[in-house]
Amino acid sequence: MGEPKIVVVDYHKGNLSSVVRGLARAGAVACTSDDPEQIRNADGLVIPGVGAFYDAIAFMRQSGEADAVLDAVAAGTPLLGICLGLQLFFERGNEGVPADEGAVADGNTPEQAGGPWVDGLGIMRGSCTRLKSSRLKVPHVGWDQVHMTPAGAADPLLTGFAEGANMYFTHSYAVADDADAADVLARTHYTRSFPCIVRHGNVWGCQFHPEKSSALGQRILKNFVSIVEGAGR
């Protein structure tokens, strides 16, 4: 198929050039786009990690990007989420949700429900919530260890990845413990144990930033490009 075309989904929240450069170094033709048709027709997709859950999903829904991403996933297109991009895969999040706009589950007050909540893309089961600690600093910023599950050790995204390797994180929210264990490829321990690499079918996500994680992060991007190449054959 030649070099695969990978579209980095642009939801107008920041500079995405480091992700594009990393994918290009990994052998892909990479570009950013906010055009739903370009998103639907890409060989592979990346949702990057910029901004807050509510703002990102609101823009993706209003612009048609959310439907385009879900259509592409249903058609078998490989998708990689980075940081916030991973969080958007889940059923709901409570980052940046205006009190008068979010939904509250089970008739509880927002405080009781941990909300208000906004729906994510719903590709994976679970919630995304704030990291909390009286001892450790939040946001979680810097290099931290990634501990693979047995499924992670066998996954093509993590070919050549070392157990316990340090990757670069910068986030205040993470997937909660209501995620489906079958979707978790790796965990990191900071304020709590949270999924830091996930997979559901043709959808993968990394809570850390591979494009900022030196040679091993570049390896993950290269592995993703290989997955896209394989899907196009």
Question: Reduced to 3 states, what is the DSSP secondary structure of residue 204?
Answer: strand
Question: Reduced to 3 states, what is the DSSP secondary structure of residue 176?
Answer: coil
Determine the Cα–Cα distance for residues 56 and 109; give it in Å rounded to an integer: 25
Of 167, 170, 173, nearest to 213 by C-alpha is: 167
Contact yes or no for 132/172 (Cβ under 8 A) = no
Active-site annotation holds for 3: no
Determine the Cα–Cα distance for residues 147 and 194; give it in Å rounded to an integer: 10
Contact yes or no for 190/132 (Cβ under 8 A) = no
Instruction: Give the angle 61-12-51 at the CA atoms, nearest 5°.
Output: 85
Q: At what angle do helices 65-74 and 53-63 cross, to 10 degrees?
A: 80
CB neighbourhood size of 199 (10 A): 22
Active-site annotation holds for 31: no
Q: Which of 65, 83, 140, 171 is catalytic?
A: 83
Of 85, 80, 77, nearest to 13 by C-alpha is: 85
Q: Which of 65, 128, 209, 229 is catalytic?
A: 209
Q: Residues for the chain: how many in total?
A: 233
The owner of tokens 């994510």 is 120
Q: Which of 65, 171, 196, 211 is catalytic?
A: 211
Active-site annotation holds for 196: no
Q: Which residues are catalytic?
A: 83, 209, 211
